[in-house]
């Protein structure tokens, strides 16, 4: 009988803690905006380097209405998101099953480990020139670059998760008649899923940062390309507007992944 009141008390405390957390976050953002406004209106900084919030907002509205360099705002965002999600989809399709198998089969892990450990610490832009040389400046080279950036963290997380599955769980499934690929499909993969989603969250962060850098080097569309092109004409208002759009999109993607993680592993609700 006492479990229900205790559970309700924990929920109220968790809700109050979340309210305080988001309140502090909102306050910190508000203070940063006020400081930005004061710095631009009081002449503390050169408007060329730090434009006013009003100038950035005006630049955003202009891009939203008229586009940028013949491409609509939705077209630039869509081009970036297409590259990002195609690379992430390819990484998930390959890294997850391969990581699960490598986590269970040591000899298979020995085949792939040297190559992954070799390229994993390399900055993606270090070998991007090779990809451009092989595949050109089209989206193919960018998607492959993003795929390589996402593959390593997702693969390593999946291998680690697959390795630490208790053998009792697998033996229990076998005693109930499971065998072969059914064990991988109904026991190992669900056990790895929370860790896989956490690894995907890390992979998205790395891939998103790489996407912006790749678009700054060889592209004719995308949010990163907007920043580079605007910098050539000293349009700091457009640069700030594009950077803020990048940040907002990244926050939204991360929030979606965090919700997905909570759905797959409800015990992480308080994290």
Q: What is the pLDDT of residues 130-163, one digit of tens each?
A: 888 888 878 888 899 999 999 999 999 999 988 8
What's the mean pLDDT when you consider all of the chain? 84
Summarize the confidence of residues 190-207 as an average pLDDT.
88
Residue 169 scores a pLDDT above 80: no
pLDDT at 86: 94
Q: Can you give the pTM of this predicted structure?
A: 0.80
Q: How does residue 1 score in pLDDT terms, banded at 50, 70 and 90?
A: very low
pLDDT at 270: 47
Residue 221 in contact with residue 71, Cβ under 8 Å? yes
Which residues contact residue 143 at a Cβ distance below 8 angstroms, ignoring those fewer than 6 apart? 83, 86, 87, 90
What percentage of the chain carries pLDDT values higher than 70? Answer: 91
Q: Is the dihedral angle over the CA atoms 110, 116, 119, 122 positive or is it negative?
A: negative
φ/ψ of 68, rounded to 5, equals -140, 120
Q: How does residue 9 score in pLDDT terms, banded at 50, 70 and 90?
A: low
Which residues contact residue 141 at a Cβ distance below 8 angstroms, ignoring those fewer than 6 apart? 128, 131, 132, 134, 135, 218
C-alpha Rg value of the chain to the nearest Å: 23
Q: How many helices (H) and strands (E) does the chain have?
A: 11, 0
């Amino acid at each position: 009988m006492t479990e229900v009141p205790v559970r309700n008390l924990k929920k109220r405390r968790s809700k109050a803690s979340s309210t305080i957390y988001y309140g502090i976050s909102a306050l910190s953002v508000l203070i940063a905006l006020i400081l930005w406004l004061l710095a631009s209106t009081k002449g503390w900084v050169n408007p060329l380097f730090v434009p006013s919030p009003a100038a950035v907002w005006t630049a955003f509205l202009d891009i939203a209405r008229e586009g940028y360099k013949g491409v609509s705002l939705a077209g630039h965002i869509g081009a970036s998101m297409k590259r990002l999600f195609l690379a992430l989809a390819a990484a998930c399709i390959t890294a997850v099953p391969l990581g699960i198998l490598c986590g269970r089969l040591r000899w298979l892990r020995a085949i792939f480990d040297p190559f992954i450990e070799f390229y994993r610490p390399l900055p993606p832009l270090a070998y991007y020139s090779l990809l451009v040389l092989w595949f050109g400046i089209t989206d193919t080279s960018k998607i492959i670059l993003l795929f390589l950036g996402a593959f390593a963290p997702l693969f390593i997380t999946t291998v680690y998760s697959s390795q630490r599955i208790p053998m009792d769980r697998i033996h229990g499934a076998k005693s109930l008649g499971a065998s072969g690929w059914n064990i991988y499909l109904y026991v190992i993969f669900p056990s790895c899923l929370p860790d896989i989603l956490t690894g995907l969250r890390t992979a998205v962060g790395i891939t998103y940062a790489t996407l912006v850098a790749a678009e700054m080097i060889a592209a004719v569309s995308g949010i990163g390309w907007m920043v580079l092109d605007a910098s050539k004409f000293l349009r700091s208002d457009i640069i700030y507007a594009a950077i803020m759009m990048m940040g907002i999109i990244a926050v939204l993607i991360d929030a979606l992944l965090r919700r997905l993680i909570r759905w797959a592993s409800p015990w992480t609700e308080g994290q």
